[in-house]
Amino acid sequence: MDLHEEPVPYDPSDPERYGPDYVPGHADPGAAVTPPPAPEPPRVRAPHGRRLTAVLAVGALVAAGVTAGGLLAGGSAGGGGHGTLPVATVHASTVELSPSQAAAAVAPALVDVDTVVDYGQARAAGTGIVLNPDGLVLTNNHVVEGSTHITVRDIGNGQDYPAAVVGYDRSHDIAVLQLSGASGLATASLDPNPVTVGEPVVGVGNAGGRGGPPSTAAGAVTAVHRTAFVRSDSGAAAEHLADLIQTNADIQPGDSGGALVDRYGQVVGVDTAASSTNGTSSAAPVGLAIPIGDALGIAQQISTGSASPTVHLGQTAFLGVELAQGIFSLGAPAAGVPVAGVVPGTTAAALGLRSGDVITKVDGRPVSSAAGIGAIIGTAHVGDQVHVDWITPAGTPQQGSAALQPGPIG
């Protein structure tokens, strides 16, 4: 599938954006591109083996507005710091490494991230980069989005750790995890300086979600300052990401959150998205990575407990209703949002909501869609009281208040 991009004027004199072998044409990295009707490329998050079908099923539910994260999740209260982040080193070694040597240099500072998604409906996997010896880990938000349990295996020592999300930034697809009980972990060497077109790089991560020694994919930087619309495996709406590094390294599902490494063995980017041909095209691979300097700036904000309109700290507030796509009365859409089901143990269950009810107001504001509910819950925090008005299938008005409970991440 092709990446959907914003039109960018073609300037052949720009060596930072176009390499020496660049030929203008329909594949111009900087030319105006009309988005084709095909869906956006999926982010590279992978289920384990046979769990692919289950993950696709969960994706269909989320797309329909059922249960989870983005639709019914809220913000989170500020928190304290989580240790110091590494001081970025610039070419600590002047010896250029082969792709395998560069990958080996960073591998001990990577982790495999395994998640239970939506209360056990599926499992998925990705990668993370260790930022400090006490287990602060950088990854993509979409790697942990929708998860209700996270386990991390450190490649450097082979140990497994339960992990909690310190915070996340949906709009920039960055999340920070804290491993419980970790100490003395190997940490990554980072280079926040801009990369250049033609610079050799290696993608290192948990390709296919198989675990074990990290996989490697050698290539080169093919463009910088890329803008793309990408979607996660959940099938949720596409998101806009900017200022990305593009590479022809064959980034695979499961590599998300992994390292894009330069020829000195330093991390220059966070592997985030890739095109997918499913074996039906001979086109060169297209991988996208968030520059490590950008990712580290967000991680610093999260680790110091600095919430913002885009940075959410701690647990995600969750209403816990499964929402139907719509209801009709005499051929016209009915007011409110129909409830298809309720997740046990959540705020919705405490309120007494049941399948067949229709939510009409949240915190006194009329709602007519899942997005409308999400917009209200999205500003709330775990523990906040939420007031809900609804109508039962018998037509009886009901209302109640309850504290928002923690739910799936993001």
Q: Cα angle vertex 144, ends 257, 293, to 5°?
A: 35
- 14 is annotated as an active-site residue: no
Q: What is the pLDDT of residue 43?
A: 52
Average confidence (pLDDT) over 17-33: 35
CA dist 207 and 187 (Å) reads 21
Question: What integer best gives the mean pLDDT of the chain?
Answer: 78
Split at pLDDT 50, 70, 90, the class of 3 is: very low
CA dist 68 and 118 (Å) reads 7
CA dist 279 and 116 (Å) reads 29
Bridge partners of residue 220, in order along the sequence: 200
pLDDT tens column, 212-269:
999 999 999 999 999 988 776 555 556 789 999 999 999 999 999 999 999 999 999 9
Alpha-carbon torsion (307, 308, 309, 311), positive or negative: negative
- 256 is annotated as an active-site residue: yes
Instruction: Name the pairing type of β-strands 200-205 and 259-261.
Output: antiparallel
Question: Of 239 and 177, which is predicted with more confidence?
Answer: 177
Q: What is the pLDDT of residue 369?
A: 86
Which member of 118, 154, 173, 294 is catalytic?
Answer: 173
Average confidence (pLDDT) over 40-66: 30
Identify the H or E element spanning 372: helix 370-377
Say which range, 89-93, 168-172, 299-303, has the weakest mean pLDDT: 89-93
Q: Cα angle vertex 134, ends 131, 140, to 5°?
A: 40
Q: Is the pLDDT of residue 26 over 50?
A: no
Say which range, 37-46, 180-189, 386-395, has the weakest mean pLDDT: 37-46
Question: Of 404 and 51, which is predicted with more confidence?
Answer: 404
- Residue corresponding to tokens 């330069």: 262
Which member of 142, 172, 312, 381 is catalytic?
Answer: 142
Q: What is the pLDDT of residue 291?
A: 98
CA dist 68 and 70 (Å) reads 6
Which member of 256, 262, 271, 357 is catalytic?
Answer: 256
CB 312 within 8 A of CB 73: no
Secondary structure letter of residue 16 according to DSSP: T
Assign 361 to helix, strand or coil. Answer: strand
Assign 80 to helix, strand or coil. Answer: coil
Bridge partners of residue 274, in order along the sequence: 287
pLDDT tens column, 282-323:
678 899 999 999 999 999 999 999 888 889 898 888 898 988
pLDDT tens column, 181-204:
999 999 999 999 999 999 999 999
Question: Of 107 and 73, which is predicted with more confidence?
Answer: 107
Tokens standing for residue 392: 């039962």
pTM: 0.75
Q: Is the pLDDT of residue 11 over 60?
A: no
Q: What is the pLDDT of residue 333?
A: 47
Alpha-carbon torsion (188, 189, 193, 196), positive or negative: negative
Q: What is the pLDDT of residue 230?
A: 79
How far the first Cα of the chain sits from its last, in Å, is 26
Q: Which of 243, 11, 70, 43 minimizes the C-alpha distance to 142?
A: 43
Say which range, 66-80, 278-292, 324-338, has the weakest mean pLDDT: 66-80
- 215 is annotated as an active-site residue: no
CA dist 290 and 227 (Å) reads 11
Q: What is the pLDDT of residue 85?
A: 61
CA dist 36 and 34 (Å) reads 6
Cβ density class 140-177: b for 16+ within 10 Å, e for less: bbbbbbbbbebbbbbbeeeeebebebbbbbbebbbbbb
Split at pLDDT 50, 70, 90, the class of 18 is: very low
132 to 183, 313, 314: CA distances (angstroms): 9, 19, 19
CA dist 204 and 250 (Å) reads 10
Please name each of the domains of the chain with its CATH number: 49-311 (2.40.10.120), 315-407 (2.30.42.10)
Q: What is the pLDDT of residue 30?
A: 34
Q: What is the pLDDT of residue 371?
A: 83
Assign 305 to helix, strand or coil. Answer: coil
Say how far residue 2 (Cα) sits from the centre of its chain: 20
